[in-house]
Amino acid sequence: MTQTISPIVLDHPLVRHKLTYLRDRNTSTADFRRLTRELSLLLAYEATRTLSLVPYKIETPSGAYQGEQLDGKKLCFVSILRAGNGLLDGMLDLIPSARVGHIGLRRDHETLEVSEYYFNMPRDVPGRTCIVLDPMLATGHSASAAITRIKEAGAHKPIFACLLSVPEGIAYLQKHHPDVQIVTCSIDQKLDAHGYIVPGLGDAGDRLFGTR
């Protein structure tokens, strides 16, 4: 039996500060995007902590140096559309050489079940560490469905990065994918009757793109 991996929560003053303003209902669309981008950099830093390195020799202006570089084909970021794109831009600022995949999922607001409408991944996924991006881990259904699909494409032990999560979503994802490391900025209280995170920050996609 695969052992469940405990979530990593970014308990850092900068994360807590920026997340407070991100949650504020009075934060503008422009500021919401900026804060999401800034938080995505901090998420990327933690989500990539376990990447393996290999020796790499270079010449500095003063002489030889035995350095290190990432091992293998490196990274693939997988954005769960559409809100995942809010995290994607900041992570690509930090790691511009990463490949990018996209998966589109719709959630039925009555049953909370998800259906796929788009899937596009790099061909060399099996040789890369995949980090799946979605601002919210709420019911866990979308995250679990996305990870199932990228595993079918060859991803091995992907990482799930989100701004907010709740115990219900974490439990659902761990039940279906116990090998996945969850990296989050906060574990909030609960889900409401409509499957939204409480206290949360509202609908991340709508706030990112100004659609409501």
Does the annotation place 20 within a ligand binding site?
no
Q: Do the Cβ atoms of 78 and 133 come closer than 8 Å?
A: yes
Q: Find the angle CA(12)-CA(140)-CA(135) to the nearest 5 degrees.
A: 45
Q: Which one of the listed residues 111, 148, 149, 184 is annotated catalytic? A: 111
Query: How far apart, in Å, are the Cα atoms of 199 and each of 9, 124, 135, 184?
Result: 17, 39, 14, 15
Does the annotation place 49 within a ligand binding site?
no
Does residue 107 have an active-site annotation? yes
Does the annotation place 82 within a ligand binding site?
yes
Q: Which helix (H) or strand (E) holds 33?
A: helix 29-47
Does the annotation place 138 within a ligand binding site?
yes
Does the annotation place 137 within a ligand binding site?
yes
Does residue 71 have an active-site annotation? no
Does the annotation place 25 within a ligand binding site?
no
Does the annotation place 202 within a ligand binding site?
yes
Q: Which one of the listed residues 203, 207, 211, 212 is annotated catalytic? A: 203
Query: How far apart, in Å, are the Cα atoms of 127 and each of 14, 75, 79, 130, 168?
Result: 33, 9, 18, 9, 32
Does residue 11 have an active-site annotation? no
Q: Which one of the listed residues 34, 37, 99, 107 is annotated catalytic? A: 107
Does residue 111 have an active-site annotation? yes
Does the annotation place 178 within a ligand binding site?
no
Which residue numbers belong to the known binding site for uracil?
197, 202-204
- Residues marked as catalytic: 107, 111, 203, 206
